[in-house]
Amino acid sequence: MTHMNHAGAEKLIQAFLEAHDAPSAVDWKKLTDAHPEHASAFVEAALIRAAGDAAEASSTEYQLDEQLANSSVSRALNLLHRSHSAAYEEAAAKVGGIKAPAARKALAVKVGIGPHVSLLSGVLVGRTTAPRRILAALASALDVQILALREYFARTFENSLVPSYKWTVGKPNVPLQPVSWEAAVRGLSLDAAETERLLRFSEED
């Protein structure tokens, strides 16, 4: 798949997942029927999504659903299942391995965030929604698939536990969805030029 076609598939998949919180086999098939030229990319996305669902569900063995694609990509489903289930696990392992402050600082600089490690940390635990350009830079830096990385961040946020607080009045305010990139950037209270530079990462989204 050419870079241009891959970028087109990425945009379609992102829009699809934003519109379907829990896409069914029928939903994926409709997407494939509408854009057959991106069938293999949709198969990959469906498998990574399914791998994430299986990882967070229970000990029940994951079963590949052949209805995720039409007959033109059924063979691709069988071939890609094993490798792309592993892609999700690889992304999880590599992100989970970035624990040292020095490693996070180096990664933040490498992907263009600069010295704002707290902004990167929010992305890595799923609390901050990363723009496509940041996701692509992270995927390149970690040598993982961008779809697997996106799914890992979503799962990490969904599975995050409410910290234990000793409250005397009321209850902790737990966000129900990740903070937008703009809100996270503006929350750093940086100077106007640096704020604008960081916000430009989301211009293509």
pLDDT tens digits, residue range 118-166?
999 999 999 999 998 999 999 999 999 888 898 899 888 887 755 544 4
Q: What is the pLDDT of residue 204?
A: 66
Q: What is the pLDDT of residue 5?
A: 58
CB of 91 closer than 8 Å to CB of 142: yes
pLDDT at 110 over 90: yes
What is the distance between the alpha carbons of residues 45 and 10, in angstroms, rounded to a whole number?
9
Q: What is the pLDDT of residue 88?
A: 85
Which sequence spans correspond to the domains of the chain? 1-90, 97-205
Q: What is the pLDDT of residue 161?
A: 53
pLDDT at 67 over 80: no
pLDDT at 167 over 50: no
Q: What is the pLDDT of residue 173?
A: 55
The SS3 assignment for 81 reads helix
CB of 87 closer than 8 Å to CB of 81: no
For the stretch 176-200, pLDDT in tens is 789 999 999 999 999 999 999 999 9
Q: Which long-range contacts (CB under 8 A, 24 or more apart) does 154-163 make?
A: 154/52, 154/126, 155/52, 155/55, 155/56, 155/126, 156/125, 156/126, 157/125, 157/126, 157/127, 158/56, 158/126, 159/56, 160/125, 160/126, 160/127
Q: Is the pTM of this model over 0.95?
A: no
Of 125, 126, 130, the closest CA to residue 113 belongs to 130
Helices 3-19, 146-159: crossing angle, 10 deg rounding: 20
Q: What is the pLDDT of residue 126?
A: 92
Which has more confidence, 26 or 173?
26
H or E stretch at 137: helix 132-142
